A = this chain, B = another copy of it.
Amino acid sequence: MSDQEKELKLLRDQIDSIDRQIHGLLNDRARCAQHVAEVKEKYQGSKDAVFYRPEREAQVLRRVMERNEGPLADHEVARLFREVMSVCLALEKPMHVAFLGPEGNFTQQAASKHFGHSAHCIPFNSGDEVFREVESGGAHYGVVPIENSSEGVVSHTLDLFKRFNLTICGEVELRIHHHVLRADDLGLDQITRIYLPQQTLSQCRSWLDSHFLSAERILVNSNAEAARMAIKQGAGAVAIASELVADLYQLNVVARNIDDQSDNSTRYLIIGDQEVGESGQDKTSILVTVRDKSGALYELLEHFHKHKISLTGIETRPANSENSHSAFYIDFEGHAANKHIQKVLQELQSETVELKLLGSYPVAVL
């Protein structure tokens, strides 16, 4: 055995011993999860027992990231623990998740990111079908894109919350940013051809229209292919793709984050029919309907300002011509179980036509 082989053998024996310990602990953890299920069934009955607790998962993942000292990156360890929880949960109760398809899209990625790969994710053709599937109990949870106004999803999803009696149990963020990449050093000069897939075009259309309206746009199958075409075509050709693709193909990033919706375009909601407890770092979403008059929104927001509650998002729905009512979808920091938040909700209740609490849920961890 050579010196190298000896040194490697020592390390591999060490890894094998670590693996045996991890393996034993994983099964110990699974047994605990089974006991949790038994306790819940004993007290709540097997029909009403709730096995998936988003707030508890968020706490576990946050703790993992806080105490992590490396060398594994925080998000990588958290991802592993997400998978561990997913496997343990599948043992208590196989999880069925409905998502807005088609298969293989970003919404499916969001579903897998949130529920891990042990959950069964099933594609549906419309937000409507996703909501109906969850309401009927066919799926335990649903995943829908919420902030992707380029494709008009937001308004449609908002309407669904009016029609279905479901709550928001969580949110998922996918961080996808698009950049302009090219092989040469000309920066943003002399761009004549832009390679990109359809989905990317719909996410970056405004920026491209305002900066490069006259350049030819050539649709390809993926962002990686766009990069390859830009390299192949050379002079004047650029690709729209992510940092990862730029690294892979060693292209220069000549303009960053050209997405029309910046972070917004990649947020997804988990819908279900359960109330989620406090995780210590939560968000609340409401749908408020007010009589359409000037200053209506300002008056609404004053209540939040007064109680020092940070808004994290707001979407306006146009006035309904029939009854002159406007609707606002508002996200803010804090949990509805919190007294502070309850006060604001009470104030809003008395001043609005309708206030619908869509749910309090943990802020996206990963």
Chain A residues with a Cβ under 8 A of chain B: 2-4, 7-8, 11-12, 14-16, 18-23, 25-36, 39-40, 42-44, 56, 60, 63-64, 67-72, 76-77, 79-81, 83-84, 87-88, 90-91, 96, 101-105, 108, 117-118, 120, 122-125, 138, 221-222, 224-225, 244-245, 248-249
Contacts and interface: CB of A to CB of B under 8 A. Distances in A.
Identical copies in the complex? 2
Contact of A122 (B3, B7, B34, B224): B224
Residue in A30, A34, A56, A96 with the greatest tally of chain B CB atoms within 10 Å: A30
Contacts of A40: 4, 8
B32 A18 contact: yes
B104 A67 contact: no
A72 B84 CA distance: 10
Contacts of A105: 104
Contacts of A76: 87, 90, 118
Given A15-B29, A138-B248, A34 B221 contact: no
A19 B60 contact: yes
A101 B221 contact: yes
A12 B36 contact: yes
B11 A22 contact: no
A22 B32 contact: no
Nearest to A29: B18
Given A23-B67, A64-B23, A122 B248 contact: yes
Residue in A26, A104, A138 with the greatest tally of chain B CB atoms within 10 Å: A26
7 contacts: A4-B43, A16-B63, A21-B25, A23-B67, A30-B71, A30-B72, A123-B225
Contacts of A23: 64, 67-68, 77, 81
A71 B83 CA distance: 16
Contact of A39 (B4, B108, B225): B4
A81 B19 CA distance: 8
